[in-house]
Amino acid sequence: MVKAIIDIDSQTNQLLNIIKAQYNLKDKSQAINKLAQLFKNNEELNPSYISKAQEISKSQSIEIGTIQELKARYK
């Protein structure tokens, strides 16, 4: 386990206290670990999701026109 001394602003301190209370954690170290775990599990923040989203945005889009044309296309 790595030990670190960090400086945090008051908003971050409040957030850590909220995380600590919400998950019934003993200290802010556990709150920081919980935030890291939540970040890791968040699909939208995961690097693989970001690269996949970038690939999709580079792909060619489909012109669908009106709702009627869209419905006719998929009947």
What is the pLDDT, as a whole number, of residue 48?
78
Examine the pLDDT at 64 and tell me if it is beyond 80.
no
Number of domains in the chain: 1
Domain membership flag for residue 45: yes
| Residue 32 lies inside a defined structural domain of this protein | yes
> Is residue 74 in a domain?
no
- Which of 52, 35, 32, 34 has its CA nearest to residue 44? 52
What was the pLDDT predicted at 13? 93
The Cα 45–Cα 19 span in angstroms is 19
In a domain, 68, yes or no: no
Tokens of 45: 């923040």
Q: What is the pLDDT of residues 12-51, one digit of tens each?
A: 999 999 999 999 999 999 999 999 888 887 766 677 777 8
Provide the whole-model pTM: 0.57
* Residues 31/25, Cβ–Cβ less than 8 Å: yes
19 within 8 A of 35, measured Cβ to Cβ: yes
Query: Is the pLDDT assigned to residue 55 strictly greater than 90?
Result: no
CA terminus-to-terminus distance, the chain: 59
